[in-house]
Amino acid sequence: MGTSEIATLGGGCFWCLEAVYDEMQGVVSVESGYMGGNVPNPDYRTVCTGRSGHVEVVQVTFDPAVASYRDILEVFFATHDPTSLDRQGNDSGPQYRSVIFYHDDQQRATAAQLIAELDGELPRPIVTELRPATTFYIAEDYHQEYFRNNPQQPYCAFVVSPKVKKFREKFAARLRHS
């Protein structure tokens, strides 16, 4: 493997995004955590209040020789609703907002370009924020690989599982072969 890159994305509950990217070819690792707030070392309870400013995010480490940053973003836009402000399904609050935390100018430009392309194709305007990456705080251990470890848990069965199924159908060519 060559040099890896990092994408940091918020699009609702981090369990959903983590489960999707765990299955994507070119993804080296996915960590659930928090970014963008004003409270140092936040925990889940603090972030859930919606007042810490943090977003539930996944930090995706990927091999750009296998999956480009644009590939990562195309999956992101296809597996959450980028037109919903501060909400995904029943999860509502600023901690669930749609946001791309870019790590350099190239990522910012790629994300802005894709948003411009997709904006006219969706029924409502895209509300995904583009923000510079700040400190990433890894979430508590029990949030890591949540879907893989708890597939029968009701939220996983009814919310996460359909998103993973959608990814598998829409991006069959990008599935990890393991």
The band of 89, judged by pLDDT with boundaries at 50, 70 and 90, is confident
Instruction: List b or e across 10-23, with b for residues whose CB sees 16 or more CB atoms inside 10 angstroms.
Output: bbbbbbbbbbbbbb
Per CATH, the homologous superfamily of domain 5-174 is: Peptide methionine sulphoxide reductase MsrA (3.30.1060.10)
Tokens describing residue 98: 């749609």
Domain ranges of the chain: 5-174
- Residue 13 designated active-site: yes
Beta strands in the chain (DSSP E): 5-10, 27-35, 55-62, 87-88, 91-92, 99-102, 129-132, 137-138
The band of 2, judged by pLDDT with boundaries at 50, 70 and 90, is low
Report the greatest alpha carbon distance in the chain.
Answer: 41
pLDDT, tens digit, 9 for 90 and up, residues 145-176: 999 999 999 999 999 999 999 999 999 999 98
pLDDT above 70: residue 8: yes
Of the residues 13, 16, 48, 156, which is catalytic?
13
Distance in angstroms (rounded) separating the CA atoms of residues 138 and 159: 22
Distance in angstroms (rounded) separating the CA atoms of residues 95 and 10: 8
- Alpha carbon separation from 109 to 38, 80, 103, 112, 140 (Å, rounded): 26, 21, 11, 5, 32
Model confidence, pTM:
0.95
Residue 88 φ then ψ, to 5°: -140, 110
Distance in angstroms (rounded) separating the CA atoms of residues 109 and 160: 30
Q: Which of 21, 33, 108, 2 is nearest to 72 (CA)?
A: 21
Instruction: List b or e across 47-56, with b for residues whose CB sees 16 or more CB atoms inside 10 angstroms.
Output: beeeebbbbb
